[in-house]
Structure 1
Amino acid sequence: MSQPDTHAAKKPDAHPKAGENAEDTLYAVRQKVYPRAVTGLFATWRWILVWATQLIFYGLCWLPWNGRQAVLLDVVERKFYIFGWIFWPQDIFFLAILLIISAYSLFFFTAVAGRLWCGYACPQTVYTEIFMWIEEKIEGNRSQRMKLDQSPMSARKVALKAAKFGAWGALSLWTGFTLVGYFTPIQDLLHEAVTFSFGPWELFWISFYGGFTYLFAGVMREQVCKYMCPYARFQGVMFDADTLVITYDPERGEPRGARKKGADPKTVGKGDCVDCGICVQVCPTGIDIRNGMQYECIGCAACIDACDQVMEKMNYPKGLIRYTTENAMKRQWGRKEILAHVMRPRILIYAGVLMAICAAFMWGLATRSTLRVDVIKDRSTLSREVEGGLIANVYNLQVMNMTEKPRRFALSASGLDGVRVSPAEPFEVDAAGLKAVTIEVAVPPESGKPGSNTVYIEIKALDDETVSVREKTAFLIPR
């Protein structure tokens, strides 16, 4: 039978001879993993999500929208353009809500079915899958890759390695280029690439992100998931006995052993597991799922696809390795009982909170005003007497037009009798622009009490009266 698909450098003797110095190492010697290609239901879903996520990532920055790209995070101008929305630094509240939604989504999906994010949509998993596909197309299948690595240096080996590393490097640089294209207009960035006129920051971030894509997906691979990702360490506290996880059924599979195709396990005194080792060979982190739940398992379900194919060839029922729960395994529950316990109070609470936050987020976006005004009282002159014996206060206004068309606005004030504003003429703010306006608000001295009084400054769009902002501020009358 095939042996587990790992290839390692020779390990040092674990038991030194008497008289030799024994030294405890702080890290384990890496055993290079050569994952075997696998097909099946879960592999198909993985590739569907690979295509979906990468079409969005690589394509969205090229999508035009109102004369610009659809998604542009313009850090220099401090404006984030996302389709028809324009977000300013004052909109950081929406970012906070989005992060809360992401966190609750992670809690929800982990409590339901473990590391779904890791196995199907995590960038580390997605790019490792792409890099392994490139590697297989250039160097061949698993056994061919192992032989190539073990063979002496030759022109063919150099050519294959150079082609693989070159393809990885090109994809990594394009990934870095695309990421920077969300912060610098992608058309401008393309022109800089053609003319070799990158700015220092663009060049740095393209190289930085591209380099780490190459390092993580091409070189380190499973090491990132096993040792660098914090999620692998704290996922256990988010599981319980009713969480769906990838599990090997030892009662059905043990004792393991080889036998002829189609042989009844009972007649040979063995379980359904034929000990082929293919579940280990397809694992991207190189673990043996038959050893029980392990933090290194990323939940990709490659072992399920591989084992089901072996069971099908042996004419045995599928599901020796499957998604199930700890309670279901102990009590031999069917699908209905598993589903009933998966939808437990904890999950319903997570789902309810998540839906409420998502609804509030969408409501906030839908009702978000396209006009924002900050009113700041001029502290250099708290109050003064002007022509006609009126008392005047000066205010500095920051008016933000959060639409992609120029707009004219009118000013007015209320809250005290006889209040007037100057200048009273309408003013225009550019599309997605910010305009500083200094105004003077004056009132008769008898219209308010000495000290602080409340006035309201209203700014209204002339082309749409529903777009208006009414800001409360203090008006000082000297004693």
Structure 2
Amino acid sequence: MSKKNQPTIEPSGDDVVDLYIKRKKIHPREAVGFFQTVRVLTIWLTLTWFYSAPWLLWDKRQALLFDLPARKFYIFGFTFWPQDFVYLAVLFIIAAIALFFFTAWAGRVWCGYTCPQTVWTRLFIWIERLTEGNRNQRIRLDNSPWSLNKFVRRSCKHLLWGLLAFLTAFTFVGYFTPIRYLSFEIIEFSLSSWEMFWIGFFSIATYVNAGWIREQVCLYMCPYARFQSVMFDSNTLVISYDKARGEPRGQRKKEADYKTQGLGDCVSCNQCVYVCPTGIDIRDGLQMACIGCAACIDACDSIMDNMNYPRGLIRYTTENKLNNKKSKILRPRLIIYGLLLFCLSVSLAAALITRVPFDLEIIRDRNQLYRETADGLIENVYTLKIMNKSQQQQSYEIILSGINGMVLVGHSQISTTPGQVLLHPIRIQVDPDSLTEKRNKITIKIINITHAKQTVERETTLISPVFRR
């Protein structure tokens, strides 16, 4: 029948689907298997690092501290200032390209294994399972009327959720305020208004995101789910259901010869749906809501083992392999992403290794551009702003160049304490017979005596009222 001759079906009242459907709470069943073991390992590594990193010390100072009021970022042995923003920009570019690379290669592995929303949601579900029981028990508890048992279980769950949310917020703020100092402030009830605000804000955000809305963040709030399809191709590793092997699906006894019944390997147990944290059915094909956690793979493999069927009915594979076509791992898109990622990472590492841990700014005296001394010399006054970006005391030597016979009046050797911004006034005098222009270019070089190979030089102008030709 041609499209023109197809009948028009008017939807009845029962056929209309409300655009805004009330959320149905998802109770994912716990899956056990290889991929879930990997997930648990990555989750605990992620959480251990997050909660312990602010407590690490480096030279009697917090190893990781982003001191926004002082505009200093301490990362182990490095101290970064606003002038070092280029490193942060390159780091963000590397992170973006890494996301593109791994998505083009293996889909949403970031979402399934290391995304903060996934990590904390998994932890909150673990608490829910601890206080309310397994999936069936939680569903029965939801549907049961309020009782003392339900009140106690729910109270314990929300109390533990709240404590974990507070600990998470406290730790996060501890990356921006020294966490030991923050701990004493909490004990003494002396938190500042901003500290109270941010701890409260992130506590509520963690409690709501990981405890209540969970998969809704992935489905409606996360932009990554929207543009992931742009980075997928037919050679991308994704979690897929093998329809050719599994269909037609149907229940059967373990000993039955299901092939003679015309059935595929899928036994319609729905375990892949029960373990899914976003509540989708992977058998319907690749979907935007799939976060690539592989829980359905482990659940299906356990059923296949029980039925003595080969594993892999649901597996990591590519669209080409499912369609019996040749699949390519190395392809132009992946090679370009990989090369960009490698080059930028090496460049950033080299820049950090060769980074000069001090900086120089030259500020001219605006009140008096020049003056003539009693000896007939032309004198200009400058202020050297020297920033010690390192975490050790440094000594420097000032060297002038550009005009013959220049004399530095003031200390030519100075020292700075760790992280100090030193304002050092100097006077430069020169014989007017050596001047060839009214505005003469000179260079001020700072040599780090502590590390003789490190130098910084800046060009400035020496102004004279007269000059000789």
> What TM-score comes out, normalization by structure 2 length?
0.94
1:396-450 CA deviation, whole Å, 9 max, x = no partner? 2210112222233222211101111221343221211111122222221222322
Task: For residue 25 of structure 2, give the secondary structure of its aligned residue in structure 1.
Answer: strand
Distance 2:414 2:394 in 1: 8
Does 2:290 align with 1:297? yes
Asked if the contact 2:394–2:448 (Cα under 8 Å) also holds between the matched residues in 1, the reply is yes
**Contact (CA 8 Å) 1:242, 1:326: kept in 2 or not?**
yes
**Are residues 75 and 113 of structure 1, via their aligned partners in 2, closer, same or farther at CA, if it must alter by over 3 Å?**
same
Secondary structure of residue in 1 paired with 2:195: helix
Alignment match of 1:415 (pick from 402, 406, 410): 402
Give me the whole-angstrom Cα distance separating, in 1, the residues matched to 2:136 and 2:159. 22
Query: Aligned partners of 1:58 and 1:127: how far apart in 2?
Result: 12
State the match for 2:232 in structure 1.
239
| SS class of match (2:207) | helix
Which of 336, 339, 345 is 1:358 aligned to?
A: 345
CA distance in 1, matches of 2:32, 2:435: 80
Gaps in structure 2 of 5+ consecutive residues: 1-10
Match runs of 1:311-390 below 5 Å: 311-331=304-324, 338=327, 341-390=328-377
Q: Determine whether 1:286 maps to 2:279.
A: yes
Distance of 1:461 and 1:353 partners within structure 2: 34
Of 164, 167, 175, the match for 1:171: 164
Secondary structure at 1:56's aligned position in 2? helix
Shift of 1:465: 2.3
Q: Distance in 1 between matches of 2:118 and 2:71?
A: 32
**Residue matched to 2:111:** 118
SS across alignment from 1:66: coil
Secondary structure of 1:54's counterpart equals helix
Say whether residues 1:400 and 2:387 are aligned partners.
Answer: yes
Tell me, in whole angstroms, the C-alpha distance in 1 between the residues paired with 2:17 and 2:368. Answer: 73
Q: Does residue 16 of structure 1 match 2:13?
A: yes
Q: List aligned pairs for 1:428-439, cutoff 5 A.
A: 428-439=415-426
Which AA in structure 2 matches 1:422? Answer: V
1:257 to 250, 253, 260: 250
1:201 to 180, 184, 194: 194
* Superposition deviation, residue 15 in structure 1: 4.8
8 A contact 1:412–1:420 mirrored in 2 = no
8 Å contact 1:449–1:477 — kept in the other structure?
no
Specify which of 433, 441, 454 is matched with residue 446 of structure 1. Answer: 433
Which whole-Å CA distance do the structure 2 matches of 1:387 and 1:49 have between them? 74
Quote the residue 2:138 is aligned against.
Answer: 145
* Aligned counterparts of 2:411 and 2:186: Cα–Cα separation in 1: 50
Distance 1:260 1:138 in 2: 35
Any conservation in 2 of the 1:33–1:285 contact (CA below 8 Å)? yes
Question: SS at 1:410's partner residue?
Answer: strand
Asked whether the 8 Å contact 1:404–1:432 carries over to 2, the reply is yes
Alpha-carbon distance, 1:25 to partner? 4.7
Which range moves more in the overlay, 448-457 or 461-470?
A: 461-470
Distance 1:353 1:426 in 2: 44
Offset at residue 262 of structure 1 (A): 4.0
CA shift for structure 1 position 381: 2.7
Aligned residues: 456
Contact 1:114 1:299 in 2 (8 A): yes
In structure 2, what residue type is equivalent to 1:266? K
Deviations 1:94-142 (A, max 9, x none): 1001000100000000000110100000000000010001100110000
Amino acid at match of 1:330: N
For structure 1, list consecutive stretches of 5 or more residues without a partner in the other structure: 1-13
Q: CA deviation at 1:466?
A: 2.2
Distance in 2 of aligned mates of 1:425 and 1:344: 59
CA distance in 2: counterparts of 1:49 and 1:264, whole angstroms: 41
State the partner residue of 1:220: 213
Query: Match of 2:424, SS?
Result: strand
Question: Are 2:87 and 1:102 aligned?
Answer: no
Return the offset for 1:264.
Answer: 3.4
Corresponding residue for residue 302 of structure 2: 309
Give me the whole-angstrom Cα distance separating, in 1, the residues matched to 2:268 and 2:460.
77
Q: Secondary structure in 1 aligned to 2:436?
A: coil
Question: Which residue of structure 2 aligns with residue 424 of structure 1?
Answer: 411
| CA RMSD between the two structures | 1.7
Q: What is the match of residue 67 of structure 1?
A: 60
Mapped pair 1:266 → 2:263: no
Contact 1:262 1:316 in 2 (8 A): no
Structure 1 distance, partners of 2:357, 2:463, is 31
| Structure 2 contact 78–391 (Cα < 8 Å) conserved | no
Quote how far apart the aligned CAs of 1:391 are.
1.7
1:292 counterpart letter in structure 2: G
**After superposition, what is the alpha-carbon deviation per residue over 1:309-348, rounded to whole angstroms, capped at 9, x for unaligned?**
11111111110111111111111x5xxx54xx02212111
What is the TM-score when the length of structure 1 is the normalising length?
A: 0.92
- Which residue number in structure 1 is paired with residue 25 of structure 2? 32
